[in-house]
Structure 1
């Protein structure tokens, strides 16, 4: 039995396209600033941010992959580049011998500590300052709902 596709309504399409365009603009501009002022790529910053939030500033690579929501190959390539640049180090997992940890080096910590104040300023300048407090709360709730639903779905 063929079913008719559930096409987006004009408002739904506007919401989808607007969210995608907003994401691209904010991420692109924030990444440009991180690269030009701190030598960090748009992908370096979230890796360093997640690792510095973790106990001991280290995570198993599979856990970092899950937290970032990236494909395993993307994480692997990104980590290799960051290790090569001295921002991260890898350590084998003694508990099971299969996994590995990735940790922030002193150079990585210095890089994120230098970049974090500008990053926070950019998040405000590019996104939060254009919203009311209620809209910020609503955006947080919408984001958490979608992330929770997609995170619960088997892939």
Structure 2
């Protein structure tokens, strides 16, 4: 398995995520944690609460359409695992964000920016687990 080096795309994506997190906080006073946003979309507190969440999720989901408009082709996405593995992984992430009190975007982007000690511990845990998972996927499991 080879990992592509994409510094321009990575920098641009990070810049847009950071800008959107700052704008959401400045305009609505809300933290941009994807899990909390989706949970509030499914179980909204009010219609106005649902509306901003729906707009944000629609904006996130429209990224491939923007890419298509700019380049004339769909973005290439490769998922090197079977659908069952994706389902199990998604369930584990859901359990993790429940016990961790948030997701990588809430803790890693917004929590660290607010100097939250809890977010620092959560982010370090996310990163260590991700590094271990990549190592095991590439070098462990009988490879």
Specify if TM > 0.5: no
TM-score, normalization by structure 1 = 0.36
Q: TM-score, normalised by structure 2?
A: 0.38
Question: Relative CO higher for 1 or 2, CA cutoff 8 Å, sep ≥ 6?
Answer: 2
- Which has more helix, going by share of residues? 2
Higher strand share: 1
